[in-house]
């Protein structure tokens, strides 16, 4: 045979006129060099000669067969020759791989795995070279066949994969997987393995995943059928056996640590040599074997961990059970019950006497429980919303229904308001930096209070007293507290509180103007401060007694009254003498070089100023001079007598009343220079609390009635039960209304003809 294109080394390139057998013999010899001796069996001359031979053969056959014997087109002939060349290559690959299979069957275990990987690498590299040799066949005949929809026709590289799959892989896949799973098991048992072998086997399976409907595409079907399915089954079986054996020997806590470590290992296994595609299935498999199958055992340990404050183990349990569907739901209900009981127990410790209970001690008990379990939710339960909801439900229960609240359902908001008053008073706390933190803690408890209207009533009364008596520690702190309440409950809740501050600012401006007025008129005046309080915004009652102020006080008040009415005509002023206070200096004490300063109420001031005229008065004379009734006079006198500023005769019995005589104590001595006699009596405080509670009940009735009217005005017609439900929904932000109270309010509105009864238990709005 002649040598063409200058190539030849004893294996001459066939001419274009040679038949398929001669051509294939030449091609096969060179293909075999690639397949058998990839590193050096084929020279560049052989490679180029083979490529040229395939090209020339295909193109010459197209030209020579362009017409058939009858002068017609001969495309079918060229087609058959391309098909013959393709089939011969396929037959060659089949024979080559059969020999490989026979050798592979002699291997086993890891040696088979190593042999398979080595030969697979050699085979795929050779396939790429051969694919390039047959590029012309790929571009023309193979492409045309695929475009015509022919199945089982592939490009030359894919043909290599198809032949490998059918002649090698499908026959030894089981043994290969046995070897792979043996390696995985050894690694799980703590041995070091060549894990890259597993990855190479997986990659080969992925390469062998051919789409039967489209030869140009690949799938993961082969990988999933042979590897993933087997891997997951063996994994499930391995961990089921191991976990059953482990829980029989060790504690639940130790098992959780073991399960946590195993899950981390499997996640690392995916990163190291598995396909990411298996992640979801592997997680589900491991979660079932390691967690779901033992979920009840884990949950039974939950209460023990809670009781013993094992936060790290609780976090571990949460992390495990959160992996399975509905794994945490039973824990949330148990957690809620545990927190509720812990809160009730904390309150019971401090609730020996609800009437004498220190508000700070009570609020601290609530906060301590909340803080403990809020930190637990945050650290152990990943701040999960459902556990947070369980915590809130539990806190709401023990804040509103505990040992202290048995005496009165509104005791929690009352004590919270008193503690807030303690913090915001000048004497409440000396640590200004911590005040904002304390107010934030107040709001934590306030969030759980159901009767927020009760807190509002008590807080507004106490705020009024702090402002009137200028006894607030910080105006910024007061403003901050109101802002917090506004953010939680809305503008309407704090509207009156904000108006109080506006009135105080207006009063400061008025006092400044009054002082300028007095100075310009060249008249003398007391060093007094006056507060103008709007009747509709301040929760203050008029005096319950008549009162004749001292002449010095009355003159100054008259001057201020005239000044005020010049600026605001037509306004009525009511003097709240029970809230007034002042200071008196003593110059009569024999044993004191420095005069004492007595801090007194207006009533006490009127009593003591009488002793400027004479040293001794009877009870009846003092009552006549001050015009005070016994309910106001007796407590004021009792404090003065107890401090020994006045001496009472006869001295038998401490009770102030008719028949007693009072004289100035010239021998009065006290360790303090400033002595506060303006001290509230317990009876006054109880009376004020009773009045506040009475006001709350009255306001609630009005609030319910206004809500019912508002709803009916918007809806016009409504069923009775629907109206009750809608009213509860609107009011529950302030307090939890009773159905019986709502029904009473509906009856009141029916009597007032705001609404009317219609047929079929329906109510209608009357314009």
Inter-CA distances, 664 with 58, 362, 432, 615, Å: 137, 43, 42, 5
Alpha carbon distances (Å) from 267 to 193, 261, 397, 432, 580: 17, 10, 42, 52, 75
Rounded CA-CA distance 362/358 in Å is 6
| Residue 128 Cα distances to 37, 155, 305, 687, angstroms | 15, 11, 62, 100
Highest mean pLDDT pick, 166-180, 466-480, 644-658: 166-180
Closest-CA residue to 145 (of 209, 72, 80, 64): 80
Cβ distance 545 to 622 under 8 Å? no
Provide the pLDDT for residue 390.
96
Q: Which of 402, 435, 409, 431 is nearest to 420 (CA)?
A: 435
Token pair recorded at residue 302: 């939950």
Which is higher by pLDDT, 29 or 332?
A: 332
Please give the DSSP secondary-structure letter assigned to residue 190. T
**pLDDT for residue 682:** 53
Q: State the average pLDDT over residues 361-375.
A: 94
The whole-number pLDDT of residue 687 equals 64
Question: Tokens 């098992």 — which residue?
Answer: 255
Q: What is the pLDDT of residue 742?
A: 86
For residue 105, name the pLDDT band (cuts at 50, 70, 90).
Answer: confident
Greatest mean pLDDT among 61-65, 389-393, 517-521, 580-584 lies in 389-393
pLDDT of residue 70: 35
The more confident residue out of 66 and 172 is: 172
Provide mean pLDDT across the span 457-465. 89
| Maximum alpha-carbon separation in the chain | 157
Q: Which of 40-54, 62-76, 750-764 has the lowest mean pLDDT?
A: 62-76
For residue 77, what pLDDT band results from cuts at 50, 70 and 90?
very low
- Out of 18-27, 493-502, 660-669, least confident range: 18-27
1-34 b/e with 16+ CB inside 10 Å = b? eeebeebeeebebbebebebeebbebbbebbebb
SS3 65: coil
Q: Are 34 and 42 in contact (CB under 8 A)?
A: yes
362 confidence band (pLDDT: 50, 70, 90): very high
Rg of the chain (C-alpha set): 49
Instruction: Report the distance separating Cα 497 and Cα 494, nearest Å.
Output: 5
Whether 286 has a pLDDT exceeding 70, the answer reads yes
Beta carbons of 112 and 179 less than 8 angstroms apart: yes
Express each pLDDT in 310-359 by its tens digit: 999 999 999 999 999 999 999 999 999 999 999 999 998 988 766 678 89
Q: Residue 735 in contact with residue 452, Cβ under 8 Å?
A: yes
More confident residue, 643 or 217: 643
Question: What is the per-residue pLDDT for 365?
Answer: 93
More confident residue, 97 or 659: 97
- From the list 590, 639, 586, the residue with the least C-alpha distance to 611 is 586
Query: 605 - beta bridge partners?
Result: none
For the beta carbon of residue 350, count every other beta carbon within 10 angstroms. Answer: 17
What pLDDT, on the 0 to 100 scale, is given for residue 353?
67
Question: 241: which residues sit within 8 A by CB, 6+ positions away?
Answer: none
| Cis peptide bond prior to 650, omega within 30° of 0 | yes
Please tell me which of 53-57, 89-93, 712-716 the model is most confident about, judged by mean pLDDT.
Answer: 89-93
Does position 279 have pLDDT exceeding 60, yes or no?
yes
Task: Specify whether the CB–CB gap between 438 and 402 falls below 8 A.
Answer: no
* Highest mean pLDDT of the ranges 175-184, 407-416, 609-618, 736-745: 175-184
The answer to whether 217 and 225 have CB atoms below 8 angstroms apart is no
Mean pLDDT of all residues in 507-522: 81
Question: What is the predicted pLDDT for the residue at 558?
Answer: 86
The yes-or-no verdict on residue 523 having pLDDT over 50 is yes
Contact 514, 560 (CB under 8 A): yes
Q: Is the predicted pLDDT of residue 585 greater than 60, yes or no?
A: yes
Structural tokens at position 644 = 């020994």
What are all long-range contacts of 688-694, with beta carbons under 8 Å and residues at least 24 apart? Answer: 688/461, 689/414, 691/541, 692/457, 692/458, 692/461, 693/408, 693/410
pLDDT of residue 483: 92
Q: In the predicted model, what is the mean pLDDT of residues 95-120?
A: 87
Answer whether residue 110 shows pLDDT above 80. yes
Give the chain's length: 767
pLDDT surpasses 70 at 686 = no
| Percent of the chain clearing pLDDT 90 (strictly above) | 34
Structure tokens at 488: 């939680």
193-201 contact pairs (CB < 8 A, 24+): 195/272, 195/273, 196/273, 197/110, 197/113, 197/114, 197/117, 198/273, 198/274, 199/272, 199/273, 199/274, 200/117, 200/120, 200/121, 201/113, 201/116, 201/117, 201/176, 201/227
Q: Is the pLDDT of residue 190 over 50?
A: yes
Amino acid 759: pLDDT: 81
**Whether pLDDT at 754 is above 90:** no
Tokens of 329: 């739901």
pLDDT average, residue stretch 165-169: 91
Q: What is the pLDDT of residue 334?
A: 96
Residue 649's beta-bridge partner residues? 661
What domains does the chain contain, in order, with CATH numbers? 20-219 (1.20.1310.10), 580-680 (3.30.230.130), 685-765 (1.10.10.10)
Find where tokens 């020279």 sit: 43
The encoded tokens of residue 404 equal: 């202290």
Output the DSSP codes for 209-220: -B-TT-TT-B-S
User: What tokens does 686 get?
Assistant: 């109880």
Tell me the β-bridge partners of 598.
Answer: 584, 675
Per-residue pLDDT, averaged over 539-544, amounts to 83
Say what the pLDDT of residue 655 is: 82
């Amino acid at each position: 045979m002649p040598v063409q294109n200058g190539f030849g080394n004893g294996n001459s390139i066939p001419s274009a006129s040679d038949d398929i057998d001669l051509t294939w013999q030449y091609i096969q010899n060179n293909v075999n060099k690639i397949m058998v001796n990839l590193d050096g069996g084929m020279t560049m001359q052989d490679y180029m000669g083979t490529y040229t031979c395939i090209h020339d053969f295909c193109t010459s056959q197209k030209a020579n067969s362009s017409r058939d014997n009858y002068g017609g087109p001969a495309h079918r002939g060229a087609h058959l020759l391309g098909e013959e060349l393709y089939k011969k290559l396929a037959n060659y690959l089949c024979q080559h791989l059969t020999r490989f299979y026979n050798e592979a069957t002699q291997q086993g275990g890891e040696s088979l795995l190593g042999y398979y990987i080595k030969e697979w690498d050699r085979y795929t590299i050779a396939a790429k070279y051969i694919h390039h040799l047959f590029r012309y066949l790929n571009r023309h005949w193979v492409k045309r066949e695929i475009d015509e929809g022919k199945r089982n026709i592939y490009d030359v590289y894919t043909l290599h994969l198809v032949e490998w799959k059918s002649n090698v892989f499908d026959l030894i896949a089981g043994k290969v997987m046995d070897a792979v799973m043996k390696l995985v098991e050894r690694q799980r048992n703590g041995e070091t393995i060549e894990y890259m072998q597993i990855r190479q086997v997986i990659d080969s399976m992925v390469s062998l995943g051919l789409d039967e409907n489209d030869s140009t595409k690949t799938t993961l079907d082969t990988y999933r059928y042979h590897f993933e399915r087997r891997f997951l089954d063996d994994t499930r079986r391995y961990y089921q056996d191991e976990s059953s054996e482990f829980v029989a020997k060790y504690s639940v806590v130790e098992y959780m640590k073991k399960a946590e470590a195993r899950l981390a290992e499997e996640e690392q296994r995916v990163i190291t040599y598995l396909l990411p595609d298996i992640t979801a299935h592997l997680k589900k498999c491991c979660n079932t074997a390691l967690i779901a199958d033992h979920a009840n055992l884990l949950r039974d340990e939950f209460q023990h961990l809670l009781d013993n404050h094992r936060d790290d183990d609780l976090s571990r349990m949460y992390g495990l059970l959160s992996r399975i569907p509905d794994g945490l739901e039973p824990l949330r209900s148990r957690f809620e019950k545990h927190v509720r009981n812990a809160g009730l127990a904390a309150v019971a410790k401090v609730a020996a006497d609800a009437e004498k209970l220190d508000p700070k001690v009570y609020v601290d008990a609530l906060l301590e429980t909340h803080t403990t379990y809020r930190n637990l939710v945050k650290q152990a339960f990943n701040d999960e919303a459902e556990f947070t909801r369980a915590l809130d439900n539990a806190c709401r229960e023990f804040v509103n229904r505990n040992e202290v609240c048995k005496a009165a359902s509104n005791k929690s908001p009352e004590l919270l308001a008193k503690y807030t008053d303690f913090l915001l008073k000048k004497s409440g706390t000396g640590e200004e930096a911590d005040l904002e933190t304390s107010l934030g803690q107040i709001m934590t408890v306030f969030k759980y209070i159901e009767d927020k209207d009760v807190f509002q009533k008590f807080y507004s009364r106490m705020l009024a007293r702090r402002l009137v008596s200028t006894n607030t520690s910080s105006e910024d702190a007061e403003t901050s507290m109101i802002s917090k309440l506004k953010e939680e409950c809305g503008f309407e809740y704090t509207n009156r509180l904000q108006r109080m501050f506006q009135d105080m600012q207006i009063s400061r401006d008025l006092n400044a103007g009054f002082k300028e007025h007095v100075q310009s008129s060249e008249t003398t005046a007391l060093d007094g401060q006056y507060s103008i309080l709007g009747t509709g915004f301040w929760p203050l009652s008029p005096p319950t007694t008549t009162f004749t102020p001292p002449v010095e006080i009355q003159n100054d008040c008259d001057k201020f009254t005239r000044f005020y009415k010049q600026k605001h005509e037509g306004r009525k002023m009511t003097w709240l003498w029970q809230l007034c206070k002042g200071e008196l200096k003593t110059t009569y004490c024999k044993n004191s070089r420095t005069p004492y300063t007595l801090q007194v109420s207006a009533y006490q001031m009127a009593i003591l100023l009488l002793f400027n005229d004479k040293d001794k008065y009877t009870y009846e004379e003092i009552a006549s001079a001050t015009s005070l009734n016994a309910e106001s006079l007796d407590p004021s006198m009792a404090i003065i007598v107890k401090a020994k500023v006045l001496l009472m005769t006869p001295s038998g019995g401490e009770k102030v009343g008719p028949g007693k005589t009072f004289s100035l104590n010239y021998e009065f001595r006290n360790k303090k220079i400033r002595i506060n006699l303006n001290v509230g009596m317990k009876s006054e405080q109880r009376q004020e609390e009773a009045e506040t509670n009475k006001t709350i009940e009255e306001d609630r009735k009005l609030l319910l009635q206004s809500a019912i009217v508002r709803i009916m005005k918007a809806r016009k017609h409504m069923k009775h039960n629907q109206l009750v439900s809608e009213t509860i929904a609107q009011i529950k932000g302030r307090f939890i209304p009773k159905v019986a109270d709502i029904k009473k309010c509906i009856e009141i509105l029916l009597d007032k003809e705001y609404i009317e009864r219609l047929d079929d238990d329906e109510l209608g709005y009357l314009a």
